[in-house]
Structure 1
Amino acid sequence: MNLARIPIFIFSCLLFLCQNSTAQEVNYRQQMRNLVIEISENAKAKNENFLVIPQNGIELILSESKNPALNYLKAIDAVGQEDLFYGYPEFNQPTPKPDITYLLKHLEIAKNQGKEVLVTDYCSTSKKIANSFCLNKKNEFISFAATRRELDEIPDYAIFNENKADIKHISEAKNFLYLLNYANYPGKKDLIAEIAFTNYDLIIIDLFFNKEAFTAEEIKKLKKKKNGGDRLVIAYMSIGEAEEYRYYWKDSWNKNPPIWLAEENPYWSGNFKVKYWHPEWKRHIYRNKDAYLKKIVNLGFDGVYLDIIDAYQYFEAGN
């Protein structure tokens, strides 16, 4: 077709239709798989043993043809799942059986593909905590019972399957701690001292205390359990939402948001959905010298725990 002979009005219409058609044809699930794969390739190029663990969005392990998404599975080392037995739709409540059945079906597929499963249940009574660990152990999942939805405290119950072993690979971990909110700690030293006083095999923490990043020396200290054994230290990173309290956030975005920034999460103030396939968002995550992932890798973390993996559901719903 000779575009020079097309009247400008018709050309504009064709361009509009083409642009909108392209937008409608975005495969949101595959775009999230692509981002996780790119993160994995980038991190493992610097540390081949670096762990990549996506949380939730378990459907991504299957392609649209319902076969295992092999490239995605190859890129990850484990999967994280919240609310498997307790916490959905409300804290401290049993997850409905149909939801458990659905999640277990997918988690078993991941397990059969050689991926470890980390489960975070949200419950606070002794009976429910014990039942959570029992159910997860039965399924050979590594689990943590969070006594607060805010993930702001180290539980005071005895660690299940506590041990003195050196944990060099995630498959060796018997338990883990998930701690992201540090509001209860007056300073970073207090937080480090309390975590170092535990015997968890694996800990998932935020890279920053307030806006101050942990140092490589501090991460090294956290890699030792109280009993002397080695453990894994994993950094949390959200890739499906932008957070206005992060170092990359620009004040100008509040009035003039970039094209890839979507609406605020109504349940978490200051968190905004992002078009995670957009090159500019990827630049903040791993594509520049000050990228989030590079900070994590350079500080000596053993891996990254990727959150808001299920952001594709937001866009699939037409938002």
Structure 2
Amino acid sequence: MIRTILIFIISTVFFSCSKEKRSDKAAEKMQDFVIAISNYARGYDPDFIVIPQNGIELCFNNIAPNDGQNSSYMSSINGIGVEELFYNGTYALDGERLSMLQQLKTSKKIMVSEFVSDNNYTSDAFLRNYNEGFICFTRSSDNYHYKQIPDSIPYENTSNITNLSLAQNHLYLISTDNYSSKQEMISAISATNFDVVLIDLFFEGTEFTLSEINQLKTKANGGQRLVISYINIGSAEKFRYYWKKGWGLHHPLWLKRKYNGYEDEFWVKFWKKDWQDIIYGNDKSYMKKILNAGFDGAYLDNVEAYYFLYYKD
């Protein structure tokens, strides 16, 4: 019996260490992936903005905050997007992530999206983030999937926002569910004074055009603003143009496993060439479509795939 227990313990420790090593190795590959995406985009537009969401550890050497910042990765990005830092429904400070962000905020814009289950928490969420020097977007239960434009804008201003460091607020609106047409959505956004607008490249499967994106680059008060495109680089989505019908039964080997909570998404082995070719590097790639549409930058979601490929989400 004792021998059986010892074997179980040794096996568990070995498996855990193996997963950690594979995850750390994958994290290095994600750093390289983000850098490559950035280099590709800036080859067309030297001022192109790159903002990875979550995966804050990628900013550091060896994925370890005590080992110093990774200069190559940091040079490739302009800001860092973060979800649920102080609030995840109710107040739930993530002290470890906050500590990392405090090291990074002097050189990168920190864009936080808080989830508040009660609108009475909104003012506190704003206060905590702005006291740290972060810009904040809050969403409640009926806006969990980023489909509504809030009624108020923190630190609303008339400034021309010519680079991300100047932004004092942002709109996170990647769902089109509340709009019956592109123009309705464009008009709704155009009537606001957000400094940064984050939207999807597509409206119900149709790409926004250069002229349509240009309409969004001026705030209602006349100030200039930035328009950023969402792109998912760590998981594949069944509703995207690149998804093939046959993948249901005979999917590519780089499609790893389902993304819990999102039935149309699958974590991917993002370092595989076939997936990276979908994302960047050629005229048919997702990033080239974003560039062609005239976006000021890209918001890279699911960069933390390096972790969730090996640990349950």
Counterpart of 2:165 in structure 1 is 171
**CA displacement at 1:215 relative to structure 2:** 0.6
- 1:226 pairs with 2:220: yes
State the match for 2:144 in structure 1: 149
- The offset of 1:186, in angstroms, is 1.1
Q: 2:256·2:266 contact (CA, 8 Å) conserved in 1?
A: yes
Contact 1:52 1:78 in 2 (8 A): yes
How far is the alpha carbon of 1:259 from its aligned partner?
0.9
Rounded to whole Å, the distance in 2 between the matches of 1:314 and 1:159 is: 34
> What secondary structure, in the 3-state scheme, does the structure 2 residue paired with 1:181 have?
coil
Which amino acid counterpart does residue 273 of structure 2 have in structure 1? P
Larger Rg: 1
Residue equivalent to 1:72: 73
Whether 2:120 is the aligned partner of 1:120: answer no
Contact 1:146 1:178 in 2 (8 A): no
Alignment of 1:1-319 (within 5 A): 27-64=25-62, 66-87=67-88, 92-95=89-92, 97=93, 99=94, 101-112=95-106, 114-123=107-116, 125-147=118-140, 148-156=143-151, 158-317=152-311
In structure 2, distance between residues paired with 1:24 and 1:233: 36
How much has 1:33 moved relative to structure 2?
Answer: 0.3
Cα deviation 1:253-274 (Å, max 9, x = unaligned): 1110001111111201110110
For 1:288 and 1:250, locate their aligned partners in 2 and report how far apart those are by CA, in whole Å.
19
TM-score norm. by structure 1 comes to 0.87
**Paired residue type of 2:38:** S
Moved segments of 4+, more than 4 Å = 23-26
Q: What secondary structure sits across from 1:203 in the alignment?
A: strand
CA drift of 1:187 comes to 1.2
Q: 3-state SS of the aligned residue for 1:132?
A: helix
Aligned counterparts of 2:259 and 2:168: Cα–Cα separation in 1: 34
Opposite residue 167 of structure 1, the aligned amino acid is I
When the two structures are aligned, how many residues end up with a matched partner?
289
CA distance in 1, matches of 2:218, 2:23: 48
**What TM-score do the two structures reach when normalised by structure 2?**
0.89
Question: How far apart, in 1, do the equivalents of 2:252 and 2:30 lie?
Answer: 20
Of Structure 1 and Structure 2, which has the larger fraction of its residues in strand? 2
Structure 1 gaps of 5+ residues are 1-22
Write the letter of the residue equivalent to 2:149: I
Unaligned runs of 5+ in 2: 1-20
Name the amino acid aligned to 1:93: T
CA contact (8 A) 2:59 2:74 kept: yes
RMSD, aligned CA: 1.8
Q: Which moved more, 1:291-300 or 1:57-66?
A: 57-66
Cα contact 1:28–1:316 (8 A) shared by 2: no
Identity %: 39
Moved more, 184-193 or 118-127: 118-127
